[in-house]
Amino acid sequence: MVAITVPHWEFLNKLEEVLQSNPVMIKLIQEVQQDPSKHPHFQVRRKLLFFDNKLFIPDSSNLKTVLLEEFHASTIAGHSGITKTYGRLKENVYWVGMKHDVIDFINACLTCQQTKNSTQLPYGLLKLLPIPSAVWEDISLDFIVGLP
């Protein structure tokens, strides 16, 4: 959570509100508190749900977008790629389908799409067409102009 630039308590308060307003999450938190053996990877600490010691973000939460922006597009993150952004996120938080969401978010990032390097291999030399064996077998045009 060190890389999140918004104040931690504000983010955690929003997450707590999301958890308390989602009936599915309320039920999951109650199940974890009543019988932790049913959900061995989950823990509840300070009204927050953790999955393998990482903050658990529910599927329906808009906090996923906030986290993606903070871990990818903030001044600290610097528009790093998919691997680095996903690596920093998975150290701190967890949600179902996180890698897919990171890939989609970065592929839609306008700054990254405008500044990324081309992965196109260098173009090769032009190759001559084979000499046709019949009349009008192939038609080609040469757009080179200004030759002597």
The per-residue pLDDT for range 83-142, each reduced to its tens digit, is 988 998 889 889 999 999 999 999 898 888 888 777 778 888 888 877 778 877 667 777
pTM higher than the cut 0.95: no
Q: pLDDT value at position 1?
A: 46
Residues 93 and 18: their CA atoms lie apart, in Å, by: 15
Half-sphere exposure of 65 (CA within 13 A, CB side): 5
Q: What is the number of other CB atoms lying within 10 angstroms of the CB of residue 94?
A: 18
Q: Are 70 and 5 in contact (CB under 8 A)?
A: yes
Element (H, E) at 94: strand 93-94
* Domain ranges (residues) in the chain: 8-115
Span 16-34, mean pLDDT? 83
Specify the fold of 8-115: Endonuclease III; domain 1 (1.10.340)
Burial class of residue 127, CB neighbours in 10 A (0-12, 13-18, 19+): exposed
For the sheet with 42-45, list strands across it. Answer: 42-45, 48-51, 54-56, 93-94
